[in-house]
Chains A and B, each alone.
Chain A
């Protein structure tokens, strides 16, 4: 190495300040995530997000009705639930799993935490991006359903605005639960916790049945209210179909409470992990 000083090494740039720097950094972190999904792991993302809904739609929406184990119109009831499930679980997993790995094994999170934005905003960025992945996956379920379900997709009286809002807030709610898991669970237990959390979340979220239909099982009906997915599934039924669903104010309240609660918990946990 020569003794001459390469100009590359010299510090010479006045940095951007404050909010402008944070906004640029936030955008760049999203840009990095988008680049990685599109350029390096598109197939993986699609398989991870869409395999489960494809099988649910096929087995519950097509096989069961065809062998007579479910009614003919069951697919119509099922689809809004599967869209909600895909939305929430994709957002959840894409927040929780990367966080566990990046905080413990690869330490990749460190470079993000040193970017010029507050630590909590790094957590928000993780949530926003995971919610985005959830939304993409949820929307892709619709054309898949059109092919898989015997009667195709029969959405009547769609509320586009309602659907869009549900996608956004349902995704955020799922990502918030993921943030809680990703920061609260020690890395050596994440396998167990995932199994213990995901299965109940999947089956108590009013995905495969309308919530009102649980009237004969009042204890189970009450339990399902603890699951944010219940409100997203019912919301999808309200926004996309004429089928019976939970009253709108309850749906809004349920999603609002779970989003705020899990986000607050998750971000607090994130900052604790980020700054000793």
Chain B
């Protein structure tokens, strides 16, 4: 019999593994659709647009943005906020847009495949 703690541990592991690639995809998407914008506002946009369902550790976003910049998928520039501290704005590059389009196609195929598999193996539709 599976203990509740094992279920929680499995759920935690799944959550981490699923989100690890997803955060990058969603960040790139947000930069493309709402950018140029800075980190905090990008995170707020993602949270709002997902209806609060996509919440990841804020600290993971900034190193990922740095990584996307190193890969040439986004560029950045600094701009002084109105009376506030300087902000680092991110914007997508042409390569980034192509990579995003491809990643979104892959994502849709993946989710469709997973959905189809789950549906076809549904316990109610296929009783043992």
Partners in one complex: no
